[in-house]
Structure 1
């Protein structure tokens, strides 16, 4: 352990079965969707796993992987352990993890009744029982075959064979997925499992099959590889729904029965058959930090093997304190490692201020989830998923240029940092008194503290990156000529869009950004025009203050929050319901007066009037074309970055523009 670290607990080594881990940091399973369609490892996957291991973690997990090629598969482009043919390529990826001193584990699962239909080649899904009525719409409409004894025995053998292939590939550990409502969890579930034979009914019967699987693996390979099991500490179901699922005493009984076959247990939460619980598997900025910590803390006194827990441990400080208090032996931190690939090295070396914070925007998870299945990316770290393209960050530029950046928002700041790394001379101009741009507005709400930390980090890194920073300076064409740069990056952001609606410029109408930052105070009843992410977040914040909020938008209900990560949508939909926020879909605002809004319902073809104190404009942003054209036409080599480029307006596109254009010049 480095003497410079203040994290004296998490960087202690720990013994897990036959393994000694160099520290107590686990990178939990994250599916990068970098395998081939049939589930073979690739050079891209090996490079991605190597970058995770390079972070300094003690244990690095390969994301959820299927145990067979028959009916276990639940995601496209994830690993499959159903054939010996896949072992050689997988061994290369394991070696890449070992190269950085980390141990390698892999999460093995069978989706059961939740298998992805496209991958089944016409076969039925299998499960302990027919799919229950409450199963999520995503999994309805496909035949589910109740498993007979022969199927049970075959799946058990498939688990054993998959572990054998992991041994061949050089893994140090395997993690058997018994949580989240996958097949083993379906057997354990009192609502899902409706069998009347020895595998159903009582807890003793429901846990029989998972225990048989664990024993078979232990008997075959327990002396060759460490064994771990993942469980849901709580299903996190909506209140009053399936109350028997949340029996913690039953969970402890199962864990104690499983303990003789295991070297470690790790805790998560959620129950995928009910998709609403997904918000707790990968918690977003709308949920508290350390979301699932309580379950590890409650279970630890009942177990005698090391335990780990994952779920929004955002900082190394949080993880270290949790271990120091004896509430867990290890902590899983996945997205923190995506945001900064050197997070744990920096923490151990006492360089905590250099760690790029994770915003918990869950963009990473949104890309890989069905039906997207896109390769993993990170909103704040453009290197993620591009490891082969940028194996060693950015190499120094062959020709040094003088670059003028106009605008100190996320695009401008990212470009500023990257350009100075490349050795260019950089001058950044910001018309306001501080850097940050729209990040100040976007992070104003109480549930945006993760974004606040990211903004502060970005500002600090930019101010210290050896660029020439000019604040309170509005750039004109004349100033550009005086500076005489080789290259100009125009990153001046966007301005609110005000459509031609009668009354939309009245004094009682405010832009959502001004409401969020409290520059404008609103009354007790507020109509928000626009139900996109900006409008819905504004509605939630106001409703949490006790305001009566009504959203009005032209979109159809099925397009609500379209383009937002599904995990964020789950939480926002729940909050909208809990807070009593009204939404009028397929409705067009026709007129705004001093105390009302009139809208036209396109479904019923009727007009309605809502009495209100204020109207909030959340109808989007637009670029200032005149300004952009003027600033971007002085120097031949000029580029438009971020919001003013006319692309989708979010932090991801801004940061990516700053990164890619810096490399292009």
Structure 2
């Protein structure tokens, strides 16, 4: 046994199988928007960001928000999984694999949560039409309900995106079904007000996300791990109750998902639920993107005061753990070996970390060697704000972004 003495803690350093993929341990770097793809081109800074996480001992690192269509982006400076990005993404996956880790692409469509200046449709697509609360910030006040033809097109785009991710060397894809993006717009009763077979009770609201999962599994499931990111709590009164989340989890299990990554919160209605704490007031003034700056200031008018507690999503995730037998990954504030041990004791298969690994890319190695038991991350959330700066996402306590590397393409 390593410096880790407790059996539950030691389990975190053992291999785990997720679909066709075997990971060297159970630590996964979560998808945290990096701000390192200017003009949609993955940069050398993005490669180095994920290489460092891999070198630091994480078993898999997740590249955030790889849009499956151009309309599926939330901002212009996000990766679209198309032929032009493949060489740059291949540079990233080669670097991660050289460090002995796996690379995962988070495949996503924003639906009506988009701030793009132009779309191929008059209004952004969503589960239901009508007034578009996220778009009110950017002047895109309305959204369009997807037709079944739209759903088929988008489901195939997810499958095509997964195939391109495989071509780029990724070992896994994470289908984003949380945080208020398109697939969670179908899952959430606040967004899905359809009266056809794609809306109504939880089982029917889950039909389109499940259909997307099946399409992706058919495309790559024999050669790649296919996981789904799911919000176990939306964090606002109109959101899906926990029993609906469990219904969705069971449907995804029945459809063959290799693992669920359990997260929480919604980008517009309850971002504090994603992070388990508030954005710092001083950081708001440093956001360069004017749309995001206005949105964040408005959000602070109604958000509750939330103090960070380790494992803040554990009570919700434990109930999902008790309802399914499939592999589950816990995400939500793990930052110490005590916390990791609790997650393992609960029966979760992996622990997913974001801010703690941004703070210290070597944290997994240092945990394993017994050099520390607690991350120095303070959950100040200023790293979230740095995403909009020239250097991209970084910890303000331990590092700085590299604007030069962030302006240079990953390949070439």
Q: TM-score, normalised by structure 1?
A: 0.53
Please name the residue that 1:308 is paired with: 329
Residue pair 2:114, 2:135 contacting (<8 A) in 1 also: no
Residue pair 2:197, 2:204 contacting (<8 A) in 1 also: yes
Contact persistence 1:377–1:385 (CA under 8 A): no
2:25 aligns with 23
The alpha-carbon deviation at position 118 of structure 1 amounts to: 2.4
What's the counterpart of residue 160 of structure 2? 161
Contact kept in structure 1, 2:132 and 2:142, CA below 8 Å: no
Matched, 1:336 2:330: no
**In structure 2, what is the equivalent of residue 478 of structure 1?**
none
The 1-side partners of 2:367 and 2:321 are apart by 26
Q: Which residue of 2 aligns with 1:224?
A: 223
Matched, 1:357 2:379: no
Relative distance call for 1:357 and 1:302 in structure 2 (3 A) is same
Task: Report the secondary structure of 2:193's partner residue.
Answer: coil
Q: 2:36 aligns with which of 30, 34, 39?
A: 34
User: 3-state DSSP class of the match of 2:11?
Assistant: coil
Q: How much has 1:139 moved relative to structure 2?
A: 5.8
Describe how 1:256-405 pairs up with structure 2 within 5 A.
256-259=250-253, 260-274=255-269, 277-284=270-277, 286-323=307-344, 325-352=345-372, 357-368=376-387, 375-383=392-400, 385=402
* Contact residue 330 and residue 350 of structure 2 kept, 8 A: yes
Aligned equivalents of 2:169, 2:191: Cα separation in 1:
36
Residues 392 and 401, structure 2, Cα contact 8 Å, conserved in 1: no
How far apart, in 1, do the equivalents of 2:150 and 2:19 lie? Answer: 31
How far apart are residue 224 of structure 1 and its match?
1.5
Q: What is the DSSP-based 3-state SS (H/G/I as helix, E as strand, rest coil) of the residue aligned with 1:63?
A: strand
Correspondence list, 1:94-493, <5 A: 94-118=93-117, 120=119, 123-132=122-131, 137-138=136-137, 141-237=140-236, 241-242=237-238, 245-259=239-253, 260-274=255-269, 277-284=270-277, 286-323=307-344, 325-352=345-372, 357-368=376-387, 375-383=392-400, 385=402
CA distance in 2, matches of 1:247, 1:141: 29
Counterpart-to-counterpart distance in 2, 1:123 and 1:97: 40
CA contact (8 A) 1:117 1:142 kept: no
What displacement does 1:135 show? 5.2
Instruction: State the match for 1:90 in structure 2.
Output: 89
1:73 aligns with 2:68: no
CA 131–10 in structure 1, closer or farther in 2 if over 3 Å, else same: farther
Contact 1:227 1:264 in 2 (8 A): yes
Q: Post-superposition shift, 1:268?
A: 0.7
Cross-structure match for 1:467 = none
Q: Secondary structure in 2 aligned to 1:358?
A: coil
1:133 to partner: Cα distance? 6.9
Q: Tell me what 1:8 maps to.
A: 10
Change in CA separation of 1:217 and 1:373 when aligned onto 2, cut-off 3 Å? farther
Q: Distance in 2 between matches of 1:137 and 1:374?
A: 29
Note the C-alpha offset of 1:134.
5.8
- The structure with the largest alpha-carbon Rg is 1
Matched residues in 1 for 2:130 and 2:330: separation?
29
How far did 1:164 drift? 0.5
Higher RCO (C-alpha under 8 Å, 6+ residues apart): 2
Mapped partners of 1:50, 1:360: distance in 2: 23
* Deviation per residue, 1:571-628 (Å, 9 max, x gap): xxxxxxxxxxxxxxxxxxxxxxxxxxxxxxxxxxxxxxxxxxxxxxxxxxxxxxxxxx
Alpha-carbon shift at residue 64 of structure 1 (Å): 2.0
State the Cα distance separating 1:121 from its structure 2 match.
7.0
The alignment partner of 2:251 has SS state of helix
TM-score, normalization: structure 2?
Answer: 0.84
Q: Could you tell me which runs of 5 or more consecutive residues in structure 2 were left unpaired when the two chains were aligned.
A: 279-306, 407-412
Q: Distance in 2 between matches of 1:246 and 1:127?
A: 17
TM superposition shift of 1:110: 0.8
| Shift in Å, 1:140 | 5.8
What are structure 1's unaligned runs of at least 5 residues? 390-665
Following superposition of structure 1 onto structure 2, how do residues 457-606 of structure 1 map, counting pairs within 5 Å? Answer: none
Q: 1:373 to 1:139 in 2, by over 3 A?
A: farther
In the TM superposition, residue 98 of structure 1 has moved relative to its aligned partner by 0.9
For 1:137 and 1:289, the matched residues in 2 are separated by 34
In 2, Cα distance between equivalents of 1:119 and 1:328: 42
**Equivalent position SS for 2:319:** helix
